[in-house]
Amino acid sequence: MQIEIKNISKNFKKKAVLRDITLTVEQGKCIGILGANGCGKSTLLSILAGVQPGNSGSFLCDGVDLLKDARKRAQLVGYVPQGTPLIEELTAWDNLLLWYDRAALKKELESGVLQLLGIGDFLKVPVSKMSGGMKKRLSIGCAMAKKPPILLLDEPTAALDLACKQHISEYLQHYKNSGGILLLTTHDVMELSLCDAWYIIRDGVLTPFQYDGDVGKLVESL
Amino acid sequence: MGKYLYLQLKRLLRILLPVMLVAAILFGCLALAYQAVVSMTDDTQEQAKIKMGVVGTAGDTFLEMGMLALKTMDSSRFAIDFVQMEEPEAEEAMRKGDIAAFAVIPEGFIDAAMYGEIMPVKYVSTAGAVGLTTLLKDEITKMVEDIVIQTQKGIFGTGDAMRNEGLSSGSAENDLTFKYFDFIFSRSKMYAVSELGNGSAMGLEEYLLSGFCVVLLMLVCLVFAPTMVRRDMSLARVLSANRRPVIAQALCDFAVYMIGLLGVIAVLMIFAVWTGWVDLTVGVFIQWIPVVIAIGGMSFLLYELTTNLISGVLLQFFISLALCFVSGCFYPVTFFPDSVQTLAAYLPTGIARTQLAESFSGVIHISGVLALLGYGGIFLGAAVLIRKGKVALVRG
């Protein structure tokens, strides 16, 4: 399986935010999308997730345009936005019930993705009392309900402590190793090392970047 | 969307207790304010009657009859309260401010009147005090003095004429006397007394209660602010990406909000009826449903317009305050200019207040219900459009 992002463009009024974004990702690969704040990284992911329409372009998976087939997109694409897609007043269990059947939820907590994310440790804690790391793990857990082969993550470890970053990076590595396609926007060095290829969005244009661990060079390129 | 609705209801249950507590406190404060306004209105009406002492009438049948006629039949009884008293007692009462003035009817007043003479009535008032109120009181007491003299003269003149004509006893004397009274007192027909502006037979208390109910509902909406203002649209975005459209989300949220508002109102109403504070029926509660849909819908839209709690609360508070004021929830709407009254009749708060007021009398106006439901629909539609825009607005 591979995905092909072809000629995606987006204008806000007359300003072009994304210009003909084109990218191909193979199964089991992780792509890091970099860029300065406000360059269009989150906009690109939200278009791919179907939250907002692009002005043009397609998002192909095995020949199916996921931008046009919402049912298929919901099956194949998991989306974790930058904020907290959770109901604050409810517990982790309640939030998971929005996405999982009761039986599947118990199974996943015992020996599935939720067990890998360590969600069982704070199952009865209301979201409002969770740490940032717990919230992010729970958000990923919710996004994984349909076991999507494509995962879109918008700065997944931003503002988290090192232990949380490590935990989430380990899970994403596991996801990638099991054949998933990861597309993530990031500013984080730990996440950069997770990626197999890096791209920078500047002036709405996506250009490949060879990251070799030199942060100084990366900053100059943004 | 069933799961989403279920979880939103569960969320409502989680927040209901603190919401209920705050709503109960607000209800208590508002009820006290309402009670104070109602009793103040009663006191004002009572105080509006000017008390006037009348000295020298005790023991004289004719004078007492005249006073009785003034007290019970004359239209002046709504404005002036005549109190029969002795002169020292009247002086003391005036010093204390219990009476505005007193009139001393001199000895031999009746005999003089019977011979067609007028003995001047001594009139004592607080002339030293200067001010509009004093002037007004003086004017009124002078007028009363005239009424007393003329009425007494009429009664005695009638009796005299009857005796001269040999009609000194029996029903004819009474008939003539009452005809005379009717003639004298018919001046009340020269003006019309109108109640505070409402078309029905509603009293001021019911009017104020309906205004109180609308203000209470607005405040209960305000209590929901922490859970209604959405700072983060991430959940809506993820749901939208998973084929759970924004309109379905908004409908679920709106339904749960309505259930919450009606639940809080129902508990407060049950409490109010249980304590005997007001007497409300199930029919009145049913009338709340379109009112809650319109007013709750408006607050739903206002919360959708804001992205942080402070601006949400401020926006809701000031718009509620302005609408309640213009709609006559604090003061009877008839106090306002015609243009404002017309505006109030079309505002959701104005229609809501009228509907609630009429529901107390068991009246249901379908046009009012439809107008409220229409407003609810418009507010919900606008809220959905705004939310759609917010969900799709991902930049960065």
The verdict on a CB contact (< 8 Å) between A51 and B240 is yes
Q: Which of A74, A80, A89 sits opposite B15 (nearest CB)?
A: A89
Q: Which of A43, A87, A94 sits opposite B394 (nearest CB)?
A: A43
Q: What share of chain B is helix, strand, coil (3-state, %, to 5)?
A: 70, 5, 25
Q: Is residue B115 within 8 Å of B142, Cβ to Cβ?
A: no
Return all residues near B249 (Cβ < 8 A) that are at least 6 apart.
B1, B4, B236, B239, B240, B387
Pick from B56, B142, B143: which is nearest to B67 by CA? B56
Residue A56 lies in a domain: yes
Q: How far apart (Å, rounded) are the C-alpha atoms in residues B273 and B342?
A: 34
Q: Closest approach of chain B CAs to the CA of A210, in angstroms?
A: 23
Could you tell me the pLDDT band of residue A150, with boundaries at 50, 70 and 90?
A: very high
The verdict on a CB contact (< 8 Å) between B235 and A70 is no
Chain B residues in contact with A12 (beta carbon < 8 A): 395
Q: How far apart (Å, rounded) are the C-alpha atoms in residues B11 and B6?
A: 9
Q: Closest approach of chain A CAs to the CA of B270, in angstroms?
A: 28
Residue A101 lies in a domain: no
The verdict on a CB contact (< 8 Å) between A43 and B240 is no
What's the domain range around A53?
2-85+146-221
Strand B50-55 relative to strand B101-104, pairing: parallel
Candidates A12, A46, A100, A187, partner chain B, best to mutate (most B CBs within 10 A): A46
The token pair that represents B190 in the structure block: 């020269």
The token pair that represents A203 in the structure block: 């002036």
**ipTM for the whole complex:** 0.89
- Least confident stretch, A21-25, A29-33, B163-167: B163-167
Q: How far apart (Å, rounded) are the C-alpha atoms in residues A67 and A19?
A: 17
Q: What is the pLDDT of residue A100?
A: 93
How do the domains of chain B map onto residue ranges? 2-42+203-392, 49-190
* Chain B residue closest in CA terms to A51: B241
Number of domains in chain A: 1
The verdict on a CB contact (< 8 Å) between A87 and B11 is yes
Residue A160 lies in a domain: yes
B242-273 residue pLDDT tens: 888 999 999 999 999 999 999 999 898 888 88
Q: Closest approach of chain B CAs to the CA of A91, in angstroms?
A: 10
Q: Which of A37, A85, A95 sits opposite B234 (nearest CB)?
A: A85
Pick from A22, A26, A30: which is nearest to A190 by CA? A30
A190-217 residue pLDDT tens: 788 888 999 999 889 999 988 777 777 7
* Chain B residue closest in CA terms to A81: B234
CA-CA-CA-CA torsion sign (A97, A99, A101, A104): negative
List Cα–Cα distances, B213 to B285, B316, B328, in angstroms: 11, 17, 12
Q: How far apart (Å, rounded) are the C-alpha atoms in residues B266 and B288?
A: 9
Q: What is the pLDDT of residue B127?
A: 52
Under DSSP, is residue B283 helix (H, G, I), strand (E, B) or coil? helix
Candidates A79, A89, A124, A222, partner chain B, best to mutate (most B CBs within 10 A): A89
Tell me if the domain spanning B49-190 has CATH number 3.30.70.2470.
Answer: no
A167-185 residue pLDDT tens: 888 889 999 999 999 999 9
Chain A residues in contact with B394 (beta carbon < 8 A): 42-43, 46, 51-52, 81
Q: State the amino acid at position A211 in one-letter form.
A: Y
> Containing H/E element for A2?
strand A2-12
Q: What is the pLDDT of residue B331?
A: 77
What CATH number should be reported for the domain holding residue A78? 3.40.50.300
List b or e across B77-97, with b for residues whose CB sees 16 or more CB atoms inside 10 angstroms.
eeebbbbbbeeebbbebbeee
- A99-104: long-range contacts, CB 8 A cutoff, minimum separation 24: A99/A142, A99/A145, A99/A146, A100/A145, A104/A145
For the beta carbon of residue A68, count every other beta carbon within 10 angstroms: 11
Each of the 396 residues of chain B gets a pLDDT tens digit; together they read 789 999 999 999 998 999 999 989 988 888 888 888 777 665 555 555 677 788 887 777 767 777 776 676 665 666 677 788 888 888 888 877 778 778 788 887 777 766 667 677 777 776 544 444 455 556 555 665 666 666 666 666 777 777 777 766 556 556 656 665 665 555 444 334 344 444 444 566 778 888 888 999 999 999 998 888 888 889 999 999 888 899 999 999 999 999 999 999 989 888 888 887 777 777 777 888 999 999 999 999 999 999 888 988 999 999 999 999 998 888 777 778 888 888 988 999 999 988 888 887 777 788 889 999 999 999 999 999 999 998 888 777
Q: Is A90 on the interface with B (CB under 8 A)?
A: yes
The verdict on a CB contact (< 8 Å) between A79 and B3 is no
* Chain B residue closest in CA terms to A41: B396
Q: Name the DSSP class of A91.
A: B
Q: Closest approach of chain A CAs to the CA of B357, in angstroms?
A: 37
**pLDDT, mean over chain A:** 89
What is the number of alpha carbons within 13 Å of residue B183 lying toward its C-beta? 11
Q: How far apart (Å, rounded) are the C-alpha atoms in residues A155 and B97?
A: 79
The verdict on a CB contact (< 8 Å) between A38 and B238 is no
Element counts in chain A: helices (H) and strands (E): 9, 10
Chain B residues in contact with A51 (beta carbon < 8 A): 237, 240-241, 391-392, 394
Cα angle A131, A136, A142 (rounded to 5 degrees) comes to 125
Return all residues near A199 (Cβ < 8 A) that are at least 6 apart.
A23, A31, A32, A33, A34, A206, A207, A208, A209
